[in-house]
Amino acid sequence: MDRTVIARVAHEINRAYCASLGDASQPAWEDAPEWQKASALVGVDMHLAKPDATPEQSHESWLAQKLAEGWVYGLVKDAEKKEHPCCVPYAELPAEQKAKDYLFRGVVHALKAIEPEKVVVEAPVPLTPPPTAVIAVSAIPAGHVPVQYIGRRPDWSDHLYGTGLYFVADQVRNLPEPVARQFLRHSDLFIEAKVEIAPEEAAQAPAQDDTAQILENAATQQDQQRDERSALQDVLDQVNLMDKDALKSFAFSNYKQNLDKRAAVNDLRDQVRQLINQFGVAGV
């Protein structure tokens, strides 16, 4: 099958899987930006050229491409800033993201032998946007967008973008534009609220809004996690420079493990790295 068709099918399966998790932000293949299509095609080519490549190797290939293009880790995916929450080592990916790599590999290998003439591609059915709600507010901070939760469940918590935000039925939060764009892509859960400025007497006693504090707490947590990853990488870099004596001392001091110095130095480094990845390092 043509590589472009394979990439398209893999993209649409990923899109459906994301929707099953409550993430409706993925566009249809026809609407996807060129960088996203190119990324899918690179993944297809990698699996076609290396049939034995694992999902972890697939992520490593994707990550290498992203880093080469200037992308960095970010709380939410932002193409303009080239920030992506998956710009981390494979071991640090959530289970949902690892599942995507397994699905992508499975799709490529399932479709590569299908004859092109047997494939019929239909255009996706466009969705009609829901009506906009009208909400009275006292003010909207500059650079923010009022976002209202309209989901069927009585409440909703963000487990996709790391913002820590939660909504109850019909609640409106004023979100920074980049975060609002992510949430508004979930058209079955959120809409942009049409607002009207409340009368002065109503504005004198505004309802408590903890949105900014929640986002600040989430950003602080993300900073801490980045610092921890950086500190761990520093340790791994040091391990790459250790000789046998240093490796043996490090393993015993941190994990009470006696390494066999008769082994090759690279094998000892692999053993120490496995200990670090499994148990971490005290103080990091």
272 or 78, greater pLDDT: 272
Q: What is the mean pLDDT of residues 90-99?
A: 87
189 and 144 share one domain: yes
Residue 182 lies in a domain: yes
Q: How high is the pLDDT of residue 85?
A: 86
Q: Is the pLDDT reported for residue 274 higher than 80? A: yes
User: Same structural domain for residues 200 and 265?
Assistant: no
Q: pTM of the full predicted structure?
A: 0.41
Looking at the fold, whether 162 and 182 belong to one and the same domain comes out as yes
Please report the pLDDT score of residue 11 as a whole number: 92
Last residue of a domain, one of 174, 207, 240: 207
Same domain, 28 and 103: yes
Same domain, 172 and 146: yes
Say whether both 198 and 105 belong to one domain: no
Where in the sequence is the domain holding 184, given as residue range(s)? 134-207
Q: Helix (H, G, I), strand (E, B), or coil: what is residue 146? A: strand
Looking at the structure, tell me whether residues 9 and 107 fall in a common domain: yes
pLDDT in tens, 153-200: 888 888 888 888 889 988 999 999 999 999 998 888 999 988 766 555
Q: Tell me, yes or no, whether 9 and 112 share the same domain.
A: yes
- When mean pLDDT is compared across 30-39, 120-129, 161-170, 178-187, the lowest value belongs to 120-129
Pairing type for strands 72-73 and 83-84 reads: parallel
Which one of 207, 236, 259 terminates a domain?
207
In the prediction, which pLDDT does 149 show?
92
**Residue 124, domain member (yes or no):** no
What is residue 65's predicted lDDT score, i.e. its pLDDT?
A: 84
Could you tell me if 230 and 149 lie in one domain?
Answer: no
Structure tokens at 60: 């490593």
Distances (CA, A) of 134 to 110, 145, 242: 48, 13, 64
Domain identity same for 171 and 199: yes
Number of structural domains found in the chain? 3
Q: Is residue 99 part of a domain?
A: yes
Task: State whether 138 and 185 are in the same domain.
Answer: yes
Task: Give the domain-ending residue among 118, 142, 166.
Answer: 118
pLDDT tens per residue, range 202-236: 444 445 678 888 888 888 888 888 888 888 888 88
pLDDT at position 123 over 70 = no
The Cα 167–Cα 170 span in angstroms is: 8
Within a domain: 129 = no
For residues 55 and 102, the answer to whether their CB atoms sit within 8 Å is: yes
Interacting residues of 214 by C-beta distance below 8 A, sequence separation 6+: 163, 164, 165, 166
CA nearest neighbour of 109 among 37, 12, 6: 6
pLDDT of residue 128: 46
Are residues 24 and 98 located together in one domain of the fold?
yes
Which of 16-20, 129-133, 168-172 shows the lowest per-residue confidence on average (mean pLDDT)? Answer: 129-133
Q: Answer yes or no: is 28 within a domain.
A: yes
d(CA 123, CA 28): 9
Buried/exposed 80-95: b ≥16 CB within 10 Å, e otherwise:
eeebbbbbbebeebee
Q: What percent of the chain has pLDDT over 90?
A: 28
